[in-house]
Chains A and B, each alone.
Chain A
Amino acid sequence: MRSFRFPFGAAAGCILALAVLAGAWLAQHPIERQKSTLTLWTFAPTHYEAYKEAVPSFEKANPGVKVDLQLVSGPAVTSRLQAAFWSDLDVPDLVEVPIDFAGTFFRGRLENVGFADLTERIEQAGLMQRMVSSRFSPYMSRGRIFGLPHDVHPVMMAYRRDIFEKEGIDADSIKTWDDFIRVGRKLTVPGKRYMLELFDTRDAHLASCLFQRGGGYFTPEGECILDNEISVQTMLWYVPLVAGKDKISNNLGAGQVLTKAVEDGYFVCLLAPDWRTKTFETTIPRVAGKMALMPLPAVEPDGRRTSTWGGTMLGITKSSPDQDLAWKFALHLYLDQQELGERFRGTNIMPALRSAWDQPAFHEPRPYWNQQPIGAMFAKLAPQVPFQYTSPFITTAKAKLGEALVACVQYYNASGDKGFEAFTRARLKKSADELRTLIRRNPY
């Protein structure tokens, strides 16, 4: 009997045999699918912690359902979700997306958008009436709604109450931005103390001011309005606050440097959407009791006393095998009033559901804010939160507005008022035209 010899030697034969065996074993023992029935990605640690509390009651009410909550890093959530949509692999059932990126997922044909169209479900549940309607607009594309608003994010003005008192300033007397700037000129000491923290290189604060005036990046139809009269006037007003000899604002960045700056009284006032008040509470604890909130100064007397900054949508993906269950979970997270009250205590975030604002949690005095009932204060302003519209080109629009801001700041620092209006108009038009060219390339 002839013995069999592998042609390329025993070692190669062993490797081949091992490969065949391993392959066969894997084929016989496929990786078990996750046992959870619903997967939710969120990018905000505060949301994650809050949802952990809400999951058990949902699982109890729906026997056999297991929810897998995943905290995905903020910058990664969009690229990871984009990749998941494209490859159709590892797509979560529900996902929270930051407002600044939501529009980028609405690119392409409507039928190919990765999120399920929630328009009918929202209408049937009457959510447009029960929630703050302006908060749906950033999550709409071509008349369809792809996400539920997690929040309202009205903006107030946080200020160092102790410094105001020491300087003899009555916060209630500040009704308009003109009043605010007048006080700012008094309080600002260049290089040592500034009235307000405002960005001079990024669009975020400028955008809040734009929204307050009824402006924005896009019309509801997705047309660019970066160079309309509201934008021009807002830029002409904003830049002298952050540039030139008489500026009353500055910015140093976020994190520890901001903590130190607020503690030192380098910044007297800061724009404070609801979510940021919790950031202040946790990252600047030393000024507890010394801080207070006031409504945002109005552009004109009796004008809107708030704006908006930030936001989150909750979307259900088309890949979800049980979209009805996902919708049920979404409503559990966003409509359970008692849960929302508890969540407000932990996050300070105003939910979009109006009826939740009556919960006791929203009326509790907060020691950090000098015993102010900040929930009730935000709730009073929430209905005034302006509309903002999005587009698949929202990230580019933000970048273009930021570029225009930097150019205007540089011009103002170099030349002051001389020719500033003409320059601002031209620069905003340049940014808008670049964006329009990009939009025109979109074949969908």
Chain B
Amino acid sequence: MTTRPNSSSSTHSLHSSRGYHLQQKMAPYLFISPFLLLFAVFGVWPIVKSLVLSMYATSGPKDSVFVGTQNYRYLLADADFHTAVKNTVVFAFWSVVLQLPLALGLAMLLSRRWVRGRNLFRLAVFSPYLVGQVFVGVLFSVLFIPQYGLLNQGLHATVGLPLDTKWLADPALVMPALVLTALWLYTGLHMIYLLAALQAVERELYEAAQVDGANATQQFWAVTVPAIRPTLIYVLIMSTIGSFQLFELPYIMLNNTPGPNNSGLTIVMYLYQTGFVTGDLGYASAVGWTLALGVLLISLVQLRLTGAWKAREA
């Protein structure tokens, strides 16, 4: 008795094979579909919606009038927006200029094997970041109190600063107070990144440099900086972006106000005020888009200036 191949079995096998291939093709899409769906609903749609909204004068979602590019044109003449941009740029500049070198210095110090208790110091320097902006804001508000605050008492005793110096009520002192607070808050975070990068630098490079007669400064510029450059660029860009998104610190420290003479008004604060206090979501969207484009532009300039693209091409 001869056996004939079972036609139904072969068809089943063919179907299974086709089904298998279909499954193979579909599986990745199926697995990423939850993310894509969520991203489309909560990411892409709000972005598109806010772009459309920026072309409207609104009072909440019920009242809206199409105004075209008027919101963007008004931004160019809006004195408060100019103040917000100026304050944010000043804050970003001083944050980067002060935080990065200090973080690098601390990272280099605390990566030295001869520093006793360096793990404790690392934790101590990093810990302000753990408690968050709101807590730090409240803490520094108390430190900056005139007449009775710790900072004024200390500065009065050491350098004779008037006791009633109003750090958070004098337009000239608000920004230094914010920069100082941010310095305390973020230096530890940057230090951790740089510490990790420093620990990854190969010892042999330093040994080779020493053999070539390089002193400590030359080793720093010729070995350390090139080796940690990707991390430095990352920290620089993230620090800049973070500075441009500044909101919580001035909001808490200035008691929900932009400070005297708008001296603590940042772009995100202005966006919040315009959108959620005044109720003009359209104008707030225009502010948001301008901020996003500005940050993108600055990041591109930074990448260009630091040569990050060249490194990648190489």
What is A's interface to B at a CB cutoff of 8 Å? Answer: 7-8, 75, 78-79, 82-83, 85-86, 101, 104-105, 107-109, 112, 191, 200-202, 250-253, 256-257, 260-261, 266, 392-393, 395-396, 399, 402-403, 406-407, 410, 434, 437, 441-444
- CB < 8 Å: which of A104, A443, A444 contacts B67? A443
A112 to B61 Cα, complex, angstroms: 10
Q: What's the least CB distance linking A162 to chain B, in Å?
A: 21
Considering the complex, give the chain A residue whose CB is closest to the CB of B61.
A86
What is B's interface to A at a CB cutoff of 8 Å? Answer: 19, 23, 27, 30, 57, 59-63, 65, 67, 70, 74, 77, 79-80, 145-149, 162-164, 166, 168-171, 256-258, 260-262, 273, 276-280
> How would you classify the secondary structure of chain A's contact residues: helix, strand, loop or mixed?
helix
A110 to B137 Cα, complex, angstroms: 40
Give chain A residues whose Cβ lies under 8 Å from the Cβ of B70: 441
Give chain B residues whose Cβ lies under 8 Å from the Cβ of A392: 59, 278-279
Instruction: Find out whether the CB atom of A191 lies under 8 angstroms from the CB atom of B163.
Output: yes
Give chain A residues whose Cβ lies under 8 Å from the Cβ of B147: 252, 257, 260-261, 266
Can you report 12 residue pairs joining A to B where beta carbons are below 8 Å apart? A79-B276, A82-B60, A104-B277, A107-B59, A201-B260, A252-B145, A252-B147, A395-B273, A402-B260, A434-B80, A441-B74, A442-B57
In the complex, which of the residues B27, B146, B278 has the most CB atoms of chain A within 10 Å of its own CB atom?
Answer: B278
Tell me the number of A-to-B contacts counted with CB atoms below 8 Å. 110
Give chain B residues whose Cβ lies under 8 Å from the Cβ of A202: 257, 260
Knowing A252-B147, A393-B278, the reply to whether A406 touches B171 (Cβ < 8 A) is yes
Give chain A residues whose Cβ lies under 8 Å from the Cβ of B30: 8
Knowing A8-B27, A392-B279, the reply to whether A85 touches B261 (Cβ < 8 A) is no
Give chain B residues whose Cβ lies under 8 Å from the Cβ of A403: 261-262
A443 to B243 Cα, complex, angstroms: 34
- CB < 8 Å: which of B59, B146, B257 contacts A253? B146
Instruction: Find out whether the CB atom of A252 lies under 8 angstroms from the CB atom of B23.
Output: no
In the complex, which of the residues A86, A112, A261, A407 has the most CB atoms of chain B within 10 Å of its own CB atom?
Answer: A86
Instruction: Find out whether the CB atom of A85 lies under 8 angstroms from the CB atom of B57.
Output: no
Instruction: Find out whether the CB atom of B260 lies under 8 angstroms from the CB atom of A443.
Output: no
- CB < 8 Å: which of B23, B67, B280 contacts A8? B23
The 7 closest A-B pairs by CB, nearest first: A108-B59, A201-B260, A108-B63, A406-B261, A107-B59, A443-B65, A112-B62
Instruction: Find out whether the CB atom of B169 lies under 8 angstroms from the CB atom of A201.
Output: yes
Q: What's the least CB distance linking A413 to chain B, in Å?
A: 11
Considering the complex, give the chain B residue whose CB is closest to the CB of A2.
B12
A413 to B232 Cα, complex, angstroms: 45
A146 to B219 Cα, complex, angstroms: 72
Considering the complex, give the chain A residue whose CB is closest to the CB of B56.
A443
In the complex, which of the residues B169, B258, B262 has the most CB atoms of chain A within 10 Å of its own CB atom?
Answer: B169
Give chain A residues whose Cβ lies under 8 Å from the Cβ of B19: 7
Instruction: Find out whether the CB atom of A257 lies under 8 angstroms from the CB atom of B148.
Output: yes
Give chain A residues whose Cβ lies under 8 Å from the Cβ of B63: 107-109, 112, 444
Give chain A residues whose Cβ lies under 8 Å from the Cβ of B262: 399, 403
Give chain A residues whose Cβ lies under 8 Å from the Cβ of B166: 201, 252-253
Considering the complex, give the chain B residue whose CB is closest to the CB of A433.
B79
Q: What's the least CB distance linking A58 to chain B, in Å?
A: 31
Give chain B residues whose Cβ lies under 8 Å from the Cβ of A200: 169
Considering the complex, give the chain B residue whose CB is closest to the CB of A194.
B164
Considering the complex, give the chain A residue whose CB is closest to the CB of B79.
A434
Give chain B residues whose Cβ lies under 8 Å from the Cβ of A253: 145-146, 166, 168-169
Q: What's the least CB distance linking A22 to chain B, in Å?
A: 15
Considering the complex, give the chain A residue whose CB is closest to the CB of B256.
A75
Give chain B residues whose Cβ lies under 8 Å from the Cβ of A441: 57, 70, 74
Considering the complex, give the chain A residue whose CB is closest to the CB of B274.
A396
Q: What's the least CB distance linking A23 to chain B, in Å?
A: 14
Instruction: Find out whether the CB atom of B278 lies under 8 angstroms from the CB atom of A396.
Output: yes
Give chain A residues whose Cβ lies under 8 Å from the Cβ of B61: 86
Q: What's the least CB distance linking A217 to chain B, in Å?
A: 15
A444 to B70 Cα, complex, angstroms: 16
Instruction: Find out whether the CB atom of A257 lies under 8 angstroms from the CB atom of B145.
Output: yes
Q: A75-B256, A104-B279, A403-B261 are in contact. List 9 more A-B contacts (CB 8 A).
A: A86-B62, A105-B279, A107-B60, A109-B59, A252-B147, A261-B148, A392-B279, A399-B258, A406-B171
A7 to B278 Cα, complex, angstroms: 54
